[in-house]
Each structure stands twice: as structure tokens, then as C-alpha cells.
């Protein structure tokens, strides 16, 4: 192949040239079970016409440059689209890159969108601080304020919410929100990170697009950054153009790690859910706990929606309000020996974070209060350790922090 790798050594080439263009081993029968990792940034063509067509079309006519398309990234996109029941998907370098691409591809200066208040702190900062610099404004409501949302949807570009809100774990009534969005002729975009497609597939409940931080439950091992949006072809085309112009594409290695994680996502999410419920039950009567928030827990306000949308499960994350506020929450965090104080979720390690001082520092005291985040609120992501050990560590830390 011109300019490529020879199948046999070229004796007239000098050593350094042969080092750059080594011979390829002959092909043998047998296909690998694991997904091939294609780290190449660029791809060669022996046919000049095919090269020109692929370069012009960028997607679908051949691989030319990995900012536009890559075989390993394509495999990840196809896998998640299949799990979510979507026509297509587009991967990004992080969950926030995916969310930013949605807003920037759908909104222009002078536009507004409607969003739930119960969202990740980074999403809140994007909506309230970054997007207004581009003339894009957010109208934010409690996720259950259907009257307010319906009124604000007039002229809006989209409605945005999370299936399970971060960090207070309120469950959104996607069927009602989807109906409101459809009536207004506005797409509903749902961040499904906390639920994963194992528990909920928002496209089945009226959503037009689904976004994930693949860093969390999809990847599941605390070792990759990634994001992905699943939708129909027209929606994805807009995201492709913007994401690639901004250079926010997912690396092949992170895509490869994410595909590996997807193979066990069902097992991991099921285990995290059952363990989270056991831990929530263990903590709810402790004197050092002001409240436990978990959608599948008996008496939780979200239990009916968890039955309706999540198959009766509550996800792998719970909210824990430590009695005594921020100071005791800090002592509690420092006393942990098994559960790790760290800002992330959805992996095999159990992680705990104080929301007001770590994940939601962007919110004012008034905004924290309206989002239901108290001074003692901690977010616990339940991993794959034995739930009895997780609960024991939390109880010991609560006892010693009093």
C-alpha cells in the first residue's frame, strides 16, 4: 500500500525507514473476543477518490481522522444507543462536554430553555454562569412544578432534567414532563447518568435525547472520562458538527474502557441498587442521621415514581443528612475507613462527598436550600463492597463524629 506498511521487508530501505515501516505479520484465522483498540489519529487510503469522498463526508464514507470518527469510538456509540433504544449516539470527552454540546447546538443568542433545579452542580454552573455569556438564558423550576414548567416552555428551545437528581436523588416524572414538552413542541433532554439504561430508558417516556456521563455507571471503574448523547439521526448530526468543531471528541482508549465497562453494567447496577437499599435501611434510624433520601426506601417521597420508572429500584446513590451540620459532616467524612471521600460516583468503590462544599459549591445558600441540600448533606455512591461492611463503616464514622 503506498505510504503504508509493507507485508515483507524492503531490503533497499535503510534501518530507520524500516523501523518506521516494519513488515506486518501474515493474517491468521481467529477473531479476538475483546473489542479491538484503534488508537490511530489518522487513516490511510490507497484509492485517492475514496480518500476525497471520505474527507468530504467526514462520517459514514470511511475513517480519515479520529476527531471525526474512529472505529473504537463508533463501537461505544453503537453499544450505548442500543441499550437506550436510540437510533444513534455521539460520544464526547466528558459528560459536561456532552451537556454543553446539547445546549450550544440547540440554542442561539436570545434563546431560552427550561431546566429542573435538581441537577449536578457543574450543569447548574453551565446554565447560570457560562451560557448567559452567549446570550442563552435558563428558566429553572423544581422538577415537580409542572404548572411553572408548562408556562415557561412557550418559546423555549428545550426542557432539561435528570432522571434521578444529583445529589438529592429526587425522581423526575418523565411521563408528565415528556407530555408537557410534546404539547409545547419542545424536545425533552434527560440526563440518565444516575439511573443508567439498566433502570430507565427515557426515550420510552417521551424524551427526545438522553445524555450520560460515561465516567459513572457506564464505565464503572473510576478510570475513564467520557460522555454520550443518544437520539435520532437529525439530533445527533447537529451534535457531531459542534462537538468536532470544538474538539470535544472521546479518545479511543476511553471508548475501549467504556465498552469493557458496559459488559457488566447490568450486574454492577443491580448490585449497587440492592446494596444501597440495605445501607439506607441500616442508617435511617441512627441518631446521627437527620434524614436518608433514597427512592426505593420505604416512606421516601419518590418511591411511587421509582416503582413506575425504575422497576422499583432506587439507583446506586443515596443522600445522607448528617445531624449537626457541616462541622459534624466533616468529622464524619474524616472518620471513614472503607468508604472513600472522593468526588465521583457509579464505580466499584463506595464514595462519599459533602455536597455543599464539594459538588455544589456553585450554589448560593438560598439555592442550596431550594434544592433540598442541607449543611450536613452527603452524597453516597454505593459500590461493590459487601453492604454490611459499607454500613458498618458509615455507622462507626457517625458514632465517632458525634
Q: What are the E-state strand segments in 29-178?
A: 88-92, 112-116, 137-141, 159-162
Is 389 a known active-site residue? Answer: no
Q: Which of 38, 173, 191, 393 is catalytic?
A: 191
Sign for the CA dihedral angle at 347, 351, 352, 355 comes to negative
For the chain, the C-alpha Rg in angstroms (whole number) is 24
- Give dist(CA 23, CA 16) in Å, integer: 13
Is 14 a known active-site residue? Answer: no
Is 216 a known active-site residue? Answer: yes
> Rounded to the nearest 5°, which phi and psi values hold at 64?
-120, -45
Peptide bond into 145 cis (omega under 30): no
Q: Which of 53, 58, 67, 237 is catalytic?
A: 67
Q: Minimal CA–CA distance to 196: which of 270, 142, 307?
A: 270
Helix 387-401, helix 265-283: angle, nearest 10: 40
Cell of 333: 467524612
- Give dist(CA 87, CA 234) in Å, integer: 10
Q: Residue 282 in contact with residue 395, Cβ under 8 Å?
A: yes
Q: Residue 339 in contact with residue 350, Cβ under 8 Å?
A: yes
Q: Which of 63, 120, 201, 379 is catalytic?
A: 120
Q: Which of 117, 201, 216, 379 is catalytic?
A: 216
Is 67 a known active-site residue? Answer: yes
Q: Residue 390 in contact with residue 279, Cβ under 8 Å?
A: yes
Bridge partner list, 161: 190
- Give dist(CA 265, CA 315) in Å, integer: 12
Q: Which residues are catalytic?
A: 67, 120, 191, 216
Amino acid at each position: 500500500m503506498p505510504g503504508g506498511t509493507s507485508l515483507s521487508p524492503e531490503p533497499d530501505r535503510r534501518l530507520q525507514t524500516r523501523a518506521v515501516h516494519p513488515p506486518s505479520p501474515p493474517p491468521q484465522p481467529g477473531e479476538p473476543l475483546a473489542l479491538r483498540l484503534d488508537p490511530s489519529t489518522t487513516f490511510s487510503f490507497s484509492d485517492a477518490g475514496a480518500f476525497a469522498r471520505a474527507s468530504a463526508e467526514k462520517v459514514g464514507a470511511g475513517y480519515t481522522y479520529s476527531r471525526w470518527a474512529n472505529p473504537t469510538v463508533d463501537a461505544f456509540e453503537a453499544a450505548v444507543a442500543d441499550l437506550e433504544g436510540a437510533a444513534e449516539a455521539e460520544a464526547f470527552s466528558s459528560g459536561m462536554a456532552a451537556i454543553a454540546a446539547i445546549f450550544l447546538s440547540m440554542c442561539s443568542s436570545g434563546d431560552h430553555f427550561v431546566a429542573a433545579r435538581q441537577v449536578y452542580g457543574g450543569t447548574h454552573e453551565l446554565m447560570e454562569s457560562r451560557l448567559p455569556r452567549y446570550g442563552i438564558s435558563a428558566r429553572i423550576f423544581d422538577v415537580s412544578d409542572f404548572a411553572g414548567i408548562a408556562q415557561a416552555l412557550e418559546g423555549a428551545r428545550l426542557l432539561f432534567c435528570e432522571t434521578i437528581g444529583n445529589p438529592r436523588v429526587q425522581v423526575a416524572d418523565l411521563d408528565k414532563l415528556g407530555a408537557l414538552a410534546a404539547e409545547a413542541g419542545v424536545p425533552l433532554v434527560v440526563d440518565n447518568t444516575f439511573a443508567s439504561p439498566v433502570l430507565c430508558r427515557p426515550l420510552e417516556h417521551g424524551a427526545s435525547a438522553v445524555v450520560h456521563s460515561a465516567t459513572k455507571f457506564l464505565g464503572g471503574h473510576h478510570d475513564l472520562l467520557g460522555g454520550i448523547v443518544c437520539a435520532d439521526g437529525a439530533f445527533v448530526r447537529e451534535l457531531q458538527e459542534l462537538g468536532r468543531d470544538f474538539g470535544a471528541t472521546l479518545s479511543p482508549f476511553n471508548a475501549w474502557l467504556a465498552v469493557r465497562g458496559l459488559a457488566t453494567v447490568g450486574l454492577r447496577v443491580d448490585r449497587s441498587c440492592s446494596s444501597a437499599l440495605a445501607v439506607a435501611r441500616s442508617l435511617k434510624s441512627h441518631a446521627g442521621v437527620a434524614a436518608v433520601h433514597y427512592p426505593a426506601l420505604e416512606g421516601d417521597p419518590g418511591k411511587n415514581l421509582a416503582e413506575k420508572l425504575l422497576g422499583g429500584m432506587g439507583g446506586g446513590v443515596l443522600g445522607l443528612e448528617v445531624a449537626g451540620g457541616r462541622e459534624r459532616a466533616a468529622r464524619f467524612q474524616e472518620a471513614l475507613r472503607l468508604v472513600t471521600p472522593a468526588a465521583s460516583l457509579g464505580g466499584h468503590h463506595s464514595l462519599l462527598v459533602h455536597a455543599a462544599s464539594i459538588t455544589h459549591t456553585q450554589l448560593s445558600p438560598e439555592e442550596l436550600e431550594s434544592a433540598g441540600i442541607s449543611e450536613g448533606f452527603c452524597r453516597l455512591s454505593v459500590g461493590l463492597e459487601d453492604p454490611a461492611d459499607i454500613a458498618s463503616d458509615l455507622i462507626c464514622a457517625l458514632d465517632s463524629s458525634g
